[in-house]
Amino acid sequence: MDKKSLLIETSLKLFYQDGIHAVGINHILATSGVAKKTLYNHFETKEALIQACVIERDKRFMNWLSQACQHAHSTSQFIEFFFNALDDWINNRVQALGEFRGCFFVNTSAEYSDLDNPIFQQCLQHKLKVKTYIENSLSAFTNDIGECQQLTDQLILLKEGVINSAFIMQDKQAALKAMKILKLSV
Which residues in this chain contact DNA in the complex, by CB under 7 A? 2-4, 23-27, 33-38, 40-42, 45-47
Of 35 and 157, the one with the shorter C-beta distance to DNA is 35
Is-contact 7 42, C-beta < 8 A?
Answer: yes
Measured from the CB atom, is 34 or 52 closer to DNA? 34
Q: Which does 45 bind (CB under 5 to 8 A by kind): DNA, its own copies, none?
A: DNA
- Determine phi and psi for 122, rounding to 5 degrees: -60, -45
Considering only 6, 13, 110, 139, the residue that binds its own copies (CB under 8 A) is 110
Three-state DSSP state, 92: coil
Residue 161's binding partner among its own copies, DNA, none (Cβ under 5 to 8 angstroms by kind) is: its own copies
Alpha helices in the chain (DSSP H): 3-18, 25-32, 36-42, 46-69, 75-90, 104-111, 118-139, 145-168, 174-185
Residues 6+ apart with CB under 8 A from 101: 16, 17, 107, 167
> Site map for its own copies, 15-44, x if CB under 8 A?
--xxx-xx----------------------
| In contact, 160 and 101? CB cutoff 8 Å | no
CA–CA dist 60, 23 (Å, integer): 21
Given the complex with its own copies, which of 10 and 109 has the nearer CB atom?
Answer: 109
- For DNA, give the closer residue by CB, 43 or 89: 43
Residue from the set 75, 105, 138, 148 that interacts with its own copies by CB under 8 A: 105
